[in-house]
Amino acid sequence: MKKSLFTFTKQQRKGTLLLLILIVILQCVYFFVDLPSESIQTDPKEFARFVSEIDSLKQLKIKGAKTKIYPFNPNYITDFKGSNLGMSNTEIDRLLNYRKQGLWINSVEQFQEVTQVSDSLLKAISPYFKFPDWVKQTQTKTNNLANHETIKNKTPKQDLNIATAEQLEKIKGVGKILSKRIVKYRDNRIGGFIDDVQLNDVYGLTPEVINKIKEQFTVKTPKPVKKINLNTATIEQLVTVPHIDYDLAAKILEQRKLQKSFNSINELKKVNNFPSNKIEIIKLYLQLEKQIDE
């Protein structure tokens, strides 16, 4: 007959029971008995001093990092980079908002204009600005053009009212036909040109060619003009002004009556079918005085 594995002797049963009792007692002691413990006492002043030393070490580390500046493109300054450079949050935000518009900083002067940093900070960080090569090339080209313009401006311009067709013909883009057309337009008006703007009335002259003409010629002896008061002018007076016919003159008087008087010659643009592209020429013949009510 086999002996069961779960059969214990009397001593084994007593030992097991004693072990259980000890376990229960220890659990009760753990949960219900407060044992004395050593509490860690900290000095608030010492703790504050310790924190202060840690902060000082952090500041020293940051200052050390600031001195190590490498060449960079100012268009890509981030919040972190700007802070390390000494920029304020407001100055950094101005730069970031400018860049969000798709605009670029292309010079040291423009950087200060956008960010409004102080002169001292700009002097400290601008030597590290590194712009793309195409910016440098553009700046060089602009400077060369500016120098060229300065040289041209030193040459006195000739009077457009006495210029010959042969003189005008030498200007690039004019040629024989256009030069003769300019002289014919001038000679058909007693006294010649009143202002350079009248070149826009010469058929075939583009804005680019007109600019080239004005680089060498200008109206030095303008034709005297007796200007018409826009606020008292009659239809008969208005039709003597270039680009104003009877129909347009009548509309001008209607508009004047509607708003009682014109406050600016530019208000003529409100008139239906008014040739706005000719306003500068029309202004040569008009003046503005308030209409006196009877």
| pLDDT over 70 at 103, yes or no | yes
Q: Report yes or no: 164 and 186 within 8 Å, Cβ to Cβ.
A: no
Query: Domain coordinates of the chain in residue numbers?
Result: 66-155, 158-218, 228-287
Residues 107-129 have a mean pLDDT of: 89
Residues 7-35 have a mean pLDDT of: 78
Residues 205-230 have a mean pLDDT of: 91
Task: Assign 3-state DSSP to the chain and report helix, strand, coil percentages, each to 5.
Answer: 60, 5, 35
The amino acid at residue 51 is V
- pLDDT band at 293; cut points 50, 70, 90: very low
| Predicted local confidence at residue 294, as pLDDT | 37
Residues 171-187 have a mean pLDDT of: 91
Residue 186: name the closest of 230, 221, 136 by CA: 221
- CATH class entry, domain 228-287: mainly alpha
- pLDDT band at 143; cut points 50, 70, 90: low
* 158-218 and 228-287 in the same fold: yes
Q: For residues 221 and 213, give the distance between their C-alpha atoms in angstroms, rounded to a whole number.
A: 16
% pLDDT > 90, the chain: 36
| pLDDT over 90 at 18, yes or no | no
- pLDDT band at 147; cut points 50, 70, 90: low
Structure tokens at 56: 């000082």
Element (H, E) at 294: none
Q: For residues 245 and 257, give the distance between their C-alpha atoms in angstroms, rounded to a whole number.
A: 18
The number of CA neighbours under 13 Å toward the Cβ of 191 is 9
DSSP string, 2-20: PPPTT---HHHHHHHHHHH
Interval 232-250: pLDDT, tens: 999 999 999 999 999 999 9
Give the global pTM: 0.46
| pLDDT over 60 at 161, yes or no | yes
| pLDDT over 70 at 144, yes or no | no
Residues 22-47 have a mean pLDDT of: 71
| pLDDT over 80 at 111, yes or no | yes
Q: For residues 74 and 122, give the distance between their C-alpha atoms in angstroms, rounded to a whole number.
A: 11
| pLDDT over 80 at 289, yes or no | no
Superfamily of domain 158-218: Photosystem II 12 kDa extrinsic protein (1.10.150.320)
| Predicted local confidence at residue 137, as pLDDT | 59
Q: Report yes or no: 283 and 260 within 8 Å, Cβ to Cβ.
A: no
| Predicted local confidence at residue 13, as pLDDT | 79
